[in-house]
């Protein structure tokens, strides 16, 4: 199956920017879409953004729309999440995930997950 490794997390002041990367290896040809999710302590894992690999169609959670951008570089087997205008409520562990269908927001649609990268936004 596909293996995913996230990177790029860190500490940022409110209003700043970070770019997360998700490097994929293994059976990447089986993936149809890639997504980003996030989870804070005591919270459920929530959808952030997804991209369909065939045509770059994207979909975003309302809380990040206009601030975050998901993109991909097929040559590098990498998906990115550009996060601008960060808010303290964006603080979470961010996870990259792969899906073989365009279900978008459903956790159950994603069959492979990375280990996560911590994003902390200070006020």
Q: What is the DSSP string of 24-84?
A: EEESGGG--EEEEEEE-TTS--EEEEEEETTT--EEE-TTTTTTEEEEEEGGGTEEEEEE-
Nearest to 22 by CA among 1, 8, 12: 8
Q: How far apart are CA 7 and CA 19, in angstroms?
A: 9
pLDDT, residue 75, reads: 86
Nearest to 47 by CA among 20, 27, 71, 65: 65
- Both tokens of 6, joined, read 């996230």
- DSSP-assigned letter for residue 17: -
Residues 55 and 62: beta-carbon distance below 8 Å: no
What's the burial of 21, exposed, middle or buried (CB within 10 Å: 0-12/13-18/19+)? middle
pLDDT digits (tens, 9 = 90+) for 67-123: 999 999 988 889 999 999 999 999 999 999 999 888 888 999 999 999 999 999 999
pLDDT, residue 67, reads: 98
How many residues would you count in the chain? 123
Tell me the pLDDT band of 30, cut-offs 50, 70 and 90.
confident
């Amino acid at each position: 199956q596909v293996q995913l490794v996230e990177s790029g997390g860190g500490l940022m002041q409110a209003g700043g920017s970070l770019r997360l990367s998700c490097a994929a290896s293994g059976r990447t040809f089986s993936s149809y879409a890639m997504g980003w999710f996030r989870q804070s302590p005591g919270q459920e894992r929530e959808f952030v953004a997804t991209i369909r690999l065939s045509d770059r169609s994207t979909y975003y959670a309302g809380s990040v729309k206009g601030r975050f951008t998901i993109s991909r570089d097929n040559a590098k087997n990498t998906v990115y999440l550009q996060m601008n205008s960060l808010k303290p409520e964006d603080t979470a562990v961010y996870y990259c995930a792969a899906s073989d269908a365009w279900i978008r927001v459903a956790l159950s649609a994603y069959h492979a997950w990375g280990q996560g990268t911590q994003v902390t936004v200070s006020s």
